[in-house]
Amino acid sequence: MLYFKKTTATLVMIATGIAGMAQLKPLTDEQYFKGSFKEMISPLPSVARWTDNSHFLMMKDGKSFLVDAATGVEKEATDADTKVGIPAPKPTAYSKANDLFIKINGEDIQLTHDKDREVNATMSPDGNYVAYTKNNDLYAVDIQAKKENRLTNDGSEVILNGYASWVYTEEILGRRSQYRAFWWSPDSKHIAFFRTDDSPVPVYTITDGNGQHGYVETLRYPKVGDKNPEVKVGIIAPAGGTAVWSDFNAKDDQYFGLPYWKPGGKSLLVQWMNRKQNQLNIWEINPADGSRKTFYQEEQKTWISLDDEGERIHFMENGKGFILFNDATGWKHMYYYDMNGKLINAITSGKFTVTDLQYVDEKKGVIYFSARKENTARKDLYRVNLDGKKLQRLTFGDYNHSGISLSPDGSYFVTTYSNVSTPPRITLLNNNGKIIKEIADSKAAALDAYQVAKTELLRVKSDDGLYDLPMKVTWPVNMDKNKKYPVLISVYGGPDAGTVMDSWVLGGNQQWYAKEGLIQVAMDHRASGHFGKEGVNYMYHNLGYWEMKDYSSMVKWLVANGNADPTKICITGFSYGGYMSCYALTYGADVFTHGMAGGSVVDWSLYDTHYTERFMGTMDDNAEGYKKSSVLNYTDKYKGMLQIVHGVIDDNVHLQNSIQLISKLQDQKKDFEFMMYPGGRHGWGGNKGQHFQNLKTRFIYRYLLEKEVPKAMIK
């Protein structure tokens, strides 16, 4: 990592790098256009799994090896070695031709026989039932009796039992949920589920041009200020009977997050949040009568993010307490609580972010976790006592340790690591951080013989002097200190959604554009997550402003210190990155000259309630913020060239956004480019996906490189 203050020093560095590359071999078309770098980078072995506390299986050169972690000694694995530690296969449920099947010991058993499709088939922990939804009702089938039990009876287009509404799937439970909104208790005696009434939510209509009469799709989609779905939390036995409803008023303006069953299944923990999203209550629900009591409470001045991965709470196996993640101090840390929800002590503290809980050694009272502590663009592995004492870094060097595989008892670990100038490596260590063996290095001997464009991680001081903003730059090959070069900036933006990490990247397109004379940049702003919730809080009621301010500071640094051409500053991104690209070409038009924006929000009043209001509030309490963050209010400043792209049936960021921007630009007689993709949602593949890539390639050549596109670049 480098942080340059003087223009002269920067140019000397670049010039020195150019001189050093003079005798190197150029990359080949095979490397540029097919991304084949096998002469330069060797594939790393993969750690398949740990077979016990001190041995792991590793795949290398198509063979399996057993590694003794204590000594690092490898031997080719036998069939017996590969079977050690593999649990007996559990029955699995699946749907085929709209019927439900289960596979037990290789045998397929049909459980349902009807025309309706079973959705999200999920085995009970004891393997005796399969729960699923059908026509928006919740069902469970008794495997032994092959008896289907209908658990709810009022499912309809707007009443969803165990099946989530759009906004809950997209923003609260997460896309990985696949709309599943039911959860087995650990003892298999109960199923918790959401009953959602979508009728208060406005209908959004999506159309496409298919066939003679077109295609029409409707969606219950709550935009800023709209009514949200009304949700009840129910608990029911898989054999059926009367559902027990938790003690909440479904009519209240509220959200329910992912529920957690307490170990043993005696009670259900439900995340509850107010509409403003600054108060989090975790309620403990009694499955017998639905009564509730407070388990945990938190309030912040800005917002709290709901947990959609079940990672906010980690229960100890000894039943003595749990570890909870909280970022109320401005940094995400771990806290130790007893089983009644009483705080015992903070486990970590300070100006750094804990990213992952890797393992808890309950016998020794030691926690293993990953964090961005030494450097915000790198992850390291640490250990600390449960009482918060004896914090120790276990990984080493100025590297991003992005892949950690810990042995089952935490005695050893394997780390995969790199940085911008070091290709990935794998090393085996013990839990004191002592290196046992360097397992593999992906760098081949030929790498140093090739002319590879230099990539650096730089830090640029923010205008207010508070933050060293991270920027990853791939410089053009054979840079001339007397020339100016066009810049291509790739961003996502948004709160706590940074993309800049100190890791190795080598790609055909990256190297080709460096040869063509393009400065390629990834940037992160103060609210990207590098600077904790403390930095992210800047965006409260103020999306767009701080991102653009920090991005502009970095661009100005590139112009002053990195030979960037101020007339060719192009920014590109999709979704939130599309918003940033549109905002840059309007609000930020004095700095940014070109943009490629896909699937863009252009006015936050057009996006959904839960995501938008978390940061922006409603238009009633933040009218000025909505006005300032809207691309539509700055189209008069537009003076460059913007490529606008959108999927016609995008059900996440509606085509309406791009239509409103296009209309505004047309009314002001501004020039721009537009492409829509029929059948495209929030992204698209196949030939249309390739067409999209070609569209961007042509834009780069036309406006930034100002020459014909090589035939090999168009596919």
CATH of the domain at 656: 3.40.50.1820
Say how far apart CA 238 and CA 127 lie, in whole Å. 12
Domain-embedded: residue 474: yes
pLDDT on residue 21: 47
DSSP state for residue 121 in the 8-state scheme? E
In contact, 10 and 562? CB cutoff 8 Å: yes
- Model pLDDT, residue 89: 81
- Please state, in angstroms and rounded to a whole number, the distance separating the CA atoms of residues 486 and 478: 14
| Tokens 């009469």, located at residue | 213
Q: Is residue 668 part of a domain?
A: yes
pLDDT number for residue 11: 39
Q: How many CB atoms lie within 10 A of CB 186?
A: 15
370 within domain boundaries: no
Q: Write the burial class of residue 254 (CB in 10 Å: 0-12 exposed, 13-18 middle, 19+ buried).
A: middle
The residues of the chain scoring below 70 in pLDDT are 1-22
Calpha distance 600→479 (Å, rounded)? 34
CA distance 9 to 473: 17
Q: Cβ–Cβ contacts within 10 Å for residue 46, how many? A: 14
Tokens found for residue 352: 């750094």
Let me know if residue 693 belongs to a domain. Answer: yes
Q: What is the pLDDT of residue 13?
A: 41
Give the integer Cα–Cα distance in Å for 424 and 40: 12
Q: What is the pLDDT of residue 398?
A: 97
Determine the pLDDT at residue 478.
Answer: 92
Which tokens belong to 253? 């303006």
Residue 15 within a domain? yes
Give the pTM: 0.93
Tokens (6 digits) for 571: 């920014």
Q: How far is CA 650 from the centre of its chain?
A: 20
The pLDDT assigned to 404 comes to: 97
- From first CA to last CA, the distance across the chain in angstroms is 36
Position 22 scores a pLDDT of: 54
Q: Tell whether 374 is covered by a domain.
A: no
**Residues near 413 by beta carbon (within 8 Å), at least 6 away in sequence:** 368, 381, 394, 404, 405, 406, 407, 428, 429, 431
Read off the tokens for 599: 């699937």
Please give the single-letter amino acid code of residue 702: R
3-class DSSP state for residue 33? helix
Give the three-class secondary structure for 332. Answer: coil
- Specify the 3-state DSSP secondary structure of 697: helix
Q: What domain range is 461 assigned to?
A: 7-36+451-707
Q: Which residues contact 620 (CB under 8 A, 6 or more apart)?
A: 225
Has residue 697 been placed in a domain?
yes
- State the total domains in the chain: 1
- d(C-alpha 18, C-alpha 14), whole Å: 6
Residue 45 resides in a domain: no
Q: How far apart are CA 86 and CA 483, in angstroms?
A: 61
Interacting residues of 164 by C-beta distance below 8 A, sequence separation 6+: 172, 173, 177, 179, 180, 181, 194, 196
686 three-class SS? helix
How many whole angstroms separate alpha carbon 35 and alpha carbon 30? Answer: 7
Give residue 311's pLDDT. Answer: 86
Bridging pattern class, strands 485-490 and 564-574: parallel
Beta strands at 55-60 and 129-134: parallel, antiparallel or unpaired: unpaired
Q: In whole angstroms, what separates CA 328 from the centre of its chain?
A: 21
